[in-house]
Every structure is written in structure tokens, then in C-alpha cells.
Amino acid sequence: MRNEHLEWIKNYFKEICQDPNYDNFLGIEMIDIKEGTAAFKLAVSGRHCNIYGTVHGGILASISDIAMGTTCLTLGKSIVTIDLNISYIRNSPKGSVLTAVGQLISSGNSIIRTEGKVFDEQQRLLVVSHASYFITGNFLKNDHP
């Protein structure tokens, strides 16, 4: 996709994260986007943690899904998650800063496959995930003004 489309996605996320939605609740911030890849940052606070004081697995799955799903948007496609497989490698405590990166694996007429990774601020791998997304239509500026 053209840089104009990628810039529009960045601005779309800035606007949508002002609304009371799940992405806003999480407190994620887009830090990079290119065709076929997207990255987000999350500063871990108490609301992201489990009873042990480490990041809840559901939060790690969510930021993985957001990064991988956004990767699909770079192709100009609206999607819904079909499946998500996640492998937890290590955890991270409150106060850490996580980076979730989604990357395109393949794109067909109806299904897009992606890979996601989550790292802590020391670049230690926390999560590896894979997801499949069903294409529901287009995700272009004219479709989502």
C-alpha cells in the first residue's frame, strides 16, 4: 500500500484510541507501521497484571492480536480473527514496557496469516503467536472516514 494509506492508518488509530474502546483501555500506542508489519508499545501498569504482579496472559494475547490484525489493515483489508495460537515463553512485571510486532506471513483471497512477537525492553522474547484472519472487505479511507 502507498505511504498515504499507512499514514491514514496511524491517524485512524490515534483517533480511535481516544474513544472508550478496548485498545484505549489497554493503553497501547502504535510505534511503527509499514506494509505487512505493525508494532505497538504497552507500558505495563497494575491493570495489566495478574495476582502475581506479572502481565496477564490475556493482555499478551490481546496486544499480539492487535499487532497482527493491524498488519492486515496495511493491505487495505478489514478482517476478523479466525484463530489465534499463542506460546508464552516468559513474563514481565509491572513497570516494564512491551513491544508487540505483527508480521504478514501470507495473504489469499479470503484469509490472511500472520505471526506476532512480544518483547520486553531488554529485547527478550516473551510471546510468539500465529493468527488467521478472514477478510470481510476493504479497510480504506473512503470506507472509514
Tens-digit pLDDT profile for residues 66-105: 999 999 999 999 999 999 999 999 999 999 999 999 999 9
- Give a yes or no: residue 115 inside a domain: yes
Q: Exposed e or buried b for every residue in 80-100, given b needs 16+ CB within 10 A?
A: eeeebebeeeebbeeebebbb
- Give a yes or no: residue 70 inside a domain: yes
Phi-psi region of 121 (alpha: psi -120 to 50; beta: other; left: phi over 0): alpha
Tens-digit pLDDT profile for residues 44-64: 999 999 999 999 999 999 999
- Give a yes or no: residue 145 inside a domain: no
- Give a yes or no: residue 34 inside a domain: yes
Q: So what's the pLDDT on residue 1?
A: 52
Q: Give the DSSP H or E segment for 119.
A: strand 111-119
pLDDT at 4 over 60: yes
Query: What is the residue range of 79's domain?
Result: 3-138
pTM score: 0.88
